Amino acid sequence: MLERSLRAVWHPCTQMKHHETLPLVPISRAEGVWLYDLEGRRILDAIGSWWVNLLGHGNPRINAALRRQLDSLEHVMLAGFTHAPAVELSERLAKLAPRGLGHCFFASDGASAVEIALKMSYQYWKNAGRSAKTEFVTLSNSYHGETLGALSVTDIPLYRDTYAPLLRASAQVPSPDWRLAAPGETPREYARRCAKALEEHFERHAPGTAALIVEPLVQCAGGMAMYDAEYLRRARELCDRFEVHLIADEIAVGFGRTGTLFACEQAGITPDFLCLSKGLTGGYLPLSVVLATDRVYGAFYDDKLERGFLHSHSYSGNPLACRAALAVLDILEEEKVLERNRNTAAILNRRAQGLRSHRRVAHFRNTGMIWAFDLKDARPGFARDFHRSALEAGVLLRPLGATVYWMPPYVIGEVEIDFLLSAVTRLLDVASR
């Protein structure tokens, strides 16, 4: 199977030539936090299969919900038609999301959700007679996806530079990443300083700016950069004052990853657009959604077709994906998962004290169910070598440059926590020799 996969499958975010020396891992099944290869060897899925798996592989409640949905409706186009799973999911999300986000537009993945939010913001201002507002602002070192629109508001050279001639320009403002604070400056003080820089940018450029897009509380692909919620509060105030939309990209951090159902809750704000995906279906099926306010929705509601939002995906609001998402929401609520997560995080943080003080570890950090640290004096090729060594130790980890992180499924238990921390510590000890 490995040779066939190398011939036939072009794998994502991968230099295929590297697989001449780093073999693909064939997975035959998965259960809970564990992946199993063809020989039955198990690997701890410490990154939730690229941050999508919230409730464990093979969750029986999600499985059952999908089987029931298969018996009635697998798919129908959402243009001119509707169905119960899409309606129910839209209503549930509107109740759970920050107040005022009452309209759901469905797509298939996170980058598509970002594209939708950018296009909606642009067209809102055009429909409102303010067509000069066409530009977007993002945080330095931000990541919002790899389609051309999403890549235009991404600030990671590895992904962006190759396609730079194809991209629209966007503006970057300082990231409130607390690792960048001055000596003696608290994360909150640094967040306020970064918000001041945003204010200065708006003072010069707000007339031509459509929206600010941010990853609330954690800039994930940018190295798990964590910051104080004060920045979101200040950003919301500034967007209101300067008449700029606020887009919250919670694709990676939504559904409890930061400790609350949505990261924006910790700042007490409502964005103009909320982008969701990844954990939305518990890692089962592709689905994304953009929630928008009444004010945004109203700018498109008109007799003229061209004033409508003419954007579509063939599988928008797929019934199976929506049913999986509804099952995820049921489990989060009925099994009090976020409350359980707080206990899990406390246990892991206590048991990670030795790792926190390891001589090669800098900036050990945690937000909700996300942990990260930076390796001091990381050598070239560290990320690939650490990934390979971790797999040999039975753990799936994919460092971001010199940043090691984990975002495990919420069902991780104490035995698995000890296994993870022990493996990471052993790998660091080897790397230190």
Domain spans of the chain, in order of start: 2-59+336-431, 73-334
The SS3 of residue 421 is helix
CB 16 within 8 A of CB 6: yes
Give the C-alpha separation, 163 to 423, whole Å.
38
CATH of 2-59+336-431, one of 3.10.20.30, 1.10.287.3510, 3.40.50.300, 3.90.1150.10: 3.90.1150.10
The first and second tokens of residue 19, run together, are 């697989």
Question: What does the pLDDT profile of the chain (433 residues) look like in tens digits?
Answer: 767 777 788 888 888 788 888 888 899 999 999 999 999 999 999 999 999 999 999 999 999 999 999 999 999 999 999 999 999 999 999 999 999 999 999 999 999 999 999 999 999 999 999 999 999 999 999 999 999 999 999 999 999 999 999 999 999 999 999 999 999 999 999 999 999 999 999 999 999 999 999 999 999 999 999 999 999 999 999 999 999 999 999 999 999 999 999 999 999 999 999 999 999 999 999 999 999 999 999 999 999 999 999 999 999 999 999 999 999 999 999 999 999 999 999 999 999 999 999 999 999 999 999 999 999 998 999 999 999 999 999 999 999 999 999 999 999 999 999 999 999 999 998 865 5
Distance CA 191, CA 322 (A): 37
Other residues' Cβ atoms within 10 Å of the Cβ of residue 303: 6
Instruction: Determine the longest span between alpha carbons in the chain, in angstroms.
Output: 70
Angstrom distance (rounded) from CA 403 to CA 398: 9
Beta bridge partners of 213: 138, 247
Query: Which three-class secondary structure state does DSSP give residue 32?
Result: strand
**H or E segment at 283?**
none
State which H helix or E strand residue 69 sits in.
Answer: helix 60-70
Cα Rg for the chain, rounded, in angstroms? 22
Distance separating alpha carbons of residues 409 and 39, to the nearest angstrom: 23
Name the architecture of domain 73-334.
Answer: 3-Layer(aba) Sandwich (3.40)
- Backbone angles phi and psi of 410, in degrees to 5: -65, -10
